[in-house]
Amino acid sequence: MAGRALLPRKIINYFMLGVCALGAGIAIIVVCLMLGYILAKGLSFISLDFIISESVPAGYEGGGMRNEIIGTLILVVLGSLIAVPLGMLTGIFLSEFGSPKVAATVRFAADVLAGVPSIVVGVFAYIVIVSQYGYSAFSAGAALSIIMIPVVARTTEESMRLVPGSLREAALALGITRWRSVIFVAIPGALTGIVSGIMLGVARIAGETAPLLFTALGNNFSFEGLARPISALPLQIYNYALSSDKNWQEQAWAGAFLLVMIVLLISLAVRWMSRKGRA
Amino acid sequence: MDTIINAEINSTMLLDDSMPILQVENVSAYYGAFRAVKDVNMNIPAKAVTAIIGPSGCGKSTLLRCFNRMHEVAHAARVEGKIMFDGNNIYSIGTDPVRIRCHIGMVFQKPNPFPTMSVLDNVVAGRRLSSLWTKRSEMEELAEKCLRQAALWDEVKDKLKQSGASLSGGQQQRLCIARALAVQPEIILMDEPCSALDPIATIKIEDLMRTLTEEYTIVVVTHNMQQAGRVSDMTAFMLMSDDRAGELIEYGTTQQVFTNPRDKRTEDYITGRFG
Amino acid sequence: MPRLTFEKRLQNLQDELLVMGSMVEEAISRSTDALKNRNLALARQVIEGDKAINQKRYDIEEMCVKLIATQQPLARDLRVIIAVLNMVVDLERIGDYAEGNAEIAIIIGDEPPLKPLIDIPRMSDKSGEMMHAALDAFMRRDADTARKVIAEDSFVDNLYDQVFRELLTYMVSDPSTINRAMRLIWVAHNLERSADRVTNICERIVFIVTGKVEEVGVAKREC
């Protein structure tokens, strides 16, 4: 009796399974190809020298991206300094204090902000800051923070929401005020999630190039202060990759490799942390 | 142990003689426009266990949460009527719900120790988080006292530094009771405190409730009628009326309610002929 | 210490039963004393004391009802409570027999004695002894002792037969003694019934221990 109905159903079943597997396979293949290519190319050009020495003009041999690495670190720290407090406060507001209507509006705004192309963010920062004060590390950090805020805000909100309401009730029932219960009960409970969010945000802005084009400008010399243009890894990769100098192109590969490694390591750390947080 | 018997003997006169610790007058509780509890009047005697029983959805938990202003924590929830505690209406304007909750503690259905805190920190959380400065030795003393009162000390004295979440369900619930005791309330409200526990843990909590009446007043909501019989001195029976609002059908000593209920609906419910 | 409250209340109930038992035991011996020593004041005390015994019965019954209604007793706990409910009936009735004897003591008043009382006090002592043993067996959950007490009932039955025959000869030889002899026969009869009630109590003890309702095999006299 079931035989007749079963056959087409089984076929459809296998077909859909195949389609899904194909999609997943393509995604994995693309990632593997990309990583493999960068790894293969980058590994052959990377060296200790690349990390510790300054860049050299086109046509010369050797040189490295020390200034760019330091610049990226500074920019990431700068962006985080602005985005982490703002993002966390936004996330806490969304999950703890906002009335449903206000929260929905803020959440929508954060989602839109997250979806804004990074080049638009760059243009925005250029108009608002750079056109007034000139190219600077600070303007780049501000631009990066705009990208980071929604990431931090949403992950903070999500992980705060995952803290069971029963814990908040427990705190309230002990005669603890609302804000103290948020600080001492809800935030500690959500901490691993919040830190994961911050690290994801860091990974995101570490690789951003477009906003830097309009704000950091780039700088071949070592760090000169927050008010001066600053160099950064993605920026230099962009510049070098487009040049015709062979040494520069090789260094671009090495830089790309370094950048991918940083982002990959952060992602792995986040995964490890969130697994540990759950256990 | 003598107090157990005394409490039992006294239970018959609880209503007439002693001054009630909570006087509930015409209390209605709302969620938005929906009235969940309708016109409840009852006097809750001090240092006794009062049980609120009734089928699911009859508003018993909602009523309980009105007693320490936890009801209004939910979105768009509000309460009408008066609840007199210590001669003051806890719903009068200017009364701080945080203060009320220090006097009237609560234990919830699911054990909810703070997972990020140790056993010790859990017990003293109420005290530590509501004052600016606390002395460590004092906190340890307080924790031991409350854990002993909650009959948990012997089981956890070697695990004070472990996470509160590492204990068993029954131990967690007693930890939550210890945590409520540490605020030194006069009344402890318990919202189905045993429904997530196994029978042995349940019996331990029930025994604990009896011994706690030496110092505290307990109001317990339970869907387990037998439990109400076992632990309480007074029993209130609630039922959903036609407009889906919970009503107090009958309130009296547990013995009277269980052996000779005045209302036919109470009798139907406790004899299992309900619905 | 599981179910602290229930254990306490169950123990309380049993203590109350023992209290009632000793009240009844005392009533038996005091009524016989009143009879033997022509002590009317003591007889009145026994009659008065029966009210307390009756009240005790109602109190214990109420405790049983409360325990059953609120504590869901099962297995042996349930048997104890059911047994106690039965035992208080027997105890109360034994108390009534003692009251009856005290009333007879008052009726006899200062009539000249028919004969010195020897077997009747022996019956009384034996009934009291059986009762004491029964309550002891109840406390210790001792079915063997309970069965032994039941066997001892025949001793009281035999004494009753003896008293009955003896008083019969008085009545046959001198009809003017019928009144006084009949009163003593009632007394003996009351005591014999008391001992029978004690055997009922013992059967309940066996029930608590074994869970079986058994009529322990002793030939009961028909009345």
Q: What is the pLDDT of residue B275?
A: 57
Q: What is the pLDDT of residue B11?
A: 44
Provide the pLDDT confidence category of residue A211 given band limits of 50, 70 and 90. confident
C2 touches chain B (CB under 8 A): yes
Task: Reduce the DSSP state of residue B28 to 3 states and report it.
Answer: strand
CB contact under 8 A, C8 and B255: no
Name the percent of chain C lying above pLDDT 90.
80
Q: How far apart are CA A233 and CA A253, in angstroms?
A: 11
Q: What is the pLDDT of residue C94?
A: 96
| Closest CA in chain C for residue B228 | C70
CB contact under 8 A, C70 and B211: no
| B63 found inside a domain | yes
Specify the amino acid at residue B240: M
HSE-up of residue A229 (Cα within 13 Å, Cβ side): 16
Q: Is the pLDDT of residue C113 over 50?
A: yes
Q: What is the pLDDT of residue B6?
A: 41
Most confident of A66-75, A264-273, C148-157: C148-157
Structure tokens at A118: 């990074």
Q: How far apart are CA B93 and CA A273, in angstroms?
A: 47
Give the least confident one: B7-16, C39-48, C178-187.
B7-16
**B-chain residues within 8 Å CB-CB of C8?**
1, 4-5
Length of chain B: 275
Structure tokens at C181: 């002899």
Q: What is the pLDDT of residue A251?
A: 87
CB contact under 8 A, B110 and A167: no
Q: Please give, rounded to a whole number of angstroms, the shortest distance from the CA of B226 to a CA of chain C.
A: 6
**DSSP-H helix ranges across chain A:** 2-45, 48-52, 66-92, 100-115, 118-125, 131-133, 137-162, 165-173, 178-181, 187-206, 210-215, 233-242, 246-278
The pTM of this model reads 0.76
Name which of C2, C9, C66 is nearest B203 (Cβ-Cβ): C2
Structure tokens at C141: 């959950």
Q: What is the pLDDT of residue A230?
A: 86
Specify the amino acid at residue C153: D
Q: Is the pLDDT of residue C163 over 90?
A: yes
ipTM metric: 0.84
Report which secondary-structure segment, H or E, holds C27.
helix C4-37
A103 touches chain B (CB under 8 A): no
User: What is the tally of structural domains in chain B?
Assistant: 1
Q: Is the pLDDT of residue B1 over 50?
A: no
**C-chain residues within 8 Å CB-CB of B198?**
none
Q: Which residues pair with B78 in a beta bridge?
A: B30
C and A interact (at least 3 Cβ pairs within 8 A): no
Specify the amino acid at residue A16: M
- Nearest alpha carbon to residue A143 among A218, A76, A90: A76
Beta-sheet strands, E only, within chain B: 22-31, 34-44, 49-53, 77-85, 88-89, 104-107, 187-191, 217-221, 234-240, 246-253
Q: Is the pLDDT of residue C221 over 90?
A: no
B230 touches chain C (CB under 8 A): yes
HSE-up of residue A1 (Cα within 13 Å, Cβ side): 0
pLDDT tens digits, A125-138: 999 988 888 888 88
Average pLDDT score over chain C: 91
Domain that holds residue B106: 2-114+189-270
Q: How far apart are CA B168 and CA B160, in angstroms?
A: 14
| B28 found inside a domain | yes
Q: Is the pLDDT of residue B246 over 70?
A: yes
Q: What is the pLDDT of residue A263?
A: 86
Structure tokens at B236: 């209130």
Name which of C3, C8, C65 is nearest B203 (Cβ-Cβ): C3
The answer for B 23-82 residues in CB contact with A (under 8 A) is: 68, 70, 73, 75
The answer for B 180-199 residues in CB contact with A (under 8 A) is: 180, 183
Write the DSSP assignment of A178-240 as a string of letters: HHHHIIIIIHHHHHHHHHHHHHHHHHHHHT--HHHHHHTB--SSSP--TTS-B--HHHHHHHH
State the CATH number of the domain containing residue B210. Answer: 3.40.50.300
Q: Please give, rounded to a whole number of angstroms, the shortest distance from the CA of C97 to a CA of chain B.
A: 32
| B110 found inside a domain | yes
Average pLDDT score over residue span A221-241: 84
Q: Which residues pair with B240 in a beta bridge?
A: B246
In this structure, how many other beta carbons lie within 10 angstroms of the beta carbon of residue A105?
A: 11
CB contact under 8 A, B125 and A174: yes
Write the DSSP assignment of C92-114 as a string of letters: HHHHHHHHHHHHHHHHHTTPPPS
Asked if B165 contacts A164 with a C-beta cutoff of 8 angstroms, the reply is no
| B75 found inside a domain | yes
Q: Is the pLDDT of residue B94 over 90?
A: no
Q: Is the pLDDT of residue B15 over 60?
A: no
A100 touches chain B (CB under 8 A): yes
pLDDT tens digits, B44-67: 999 999 999 999 889 999 999 999
Identify the structural domains of chain C with CATH numbers, from first to last. Answer: 4-210 (1.20.58.220)
Q: Is the pLDDT of residue A3 over 60?
A: no
Name the percent of chain A lying above pLDDT 90.
30
| B123 found inside a domain | no
Q: What is the pLDDT of residue A4?
A: 63
Q: Which residues pair with B238 in a beta bridge?
A: B248
Q: How far, rounded to the nearest angstrom, does the alpha carbon of residue A159 sit from its chain's CA centroid?
A: 17
pLDDT tens digits, A152-188: 999 999 999 988 888 988 999 998 888 888 988 899 8
Task: Reduce the DSSP state of residue B163 to 3 states and report it.
Answer: strand
Residue that the structure tokens 């043993």 belong to: C133
HSE-up of residue B112 (Cα within 13 Å, Cβ side): 24
Q: Please give, rounded to a whole number of angstroms, the shortest distance from the CA of B235 to a CA of chain A.
A: 24
Specify the amino acid at residue A96: E
pLDDT tens digits, B23-52: 999 999 999 999 999 999 999 999 999 999
pLDDT tens digits, C193-213: 999 999 999 999 999 999 888
Q: What is the pLDDT of residue B8?
A: 43
Q: Is the pLDDT of residue B204 over 50?
A: yes
Q: Please give, rounded to a whole number of angstroms, the shortest distance from the CA of B77 to a CA of chain A.
A: 14
CB contact under 8 A, B108 and A167: no
Provide the pLDDT confidence category of residue A47 given band limits of 50, 70 and 90. confident
- Helices B169-182 & B136-149, crossing angle to 10 degrees? 120
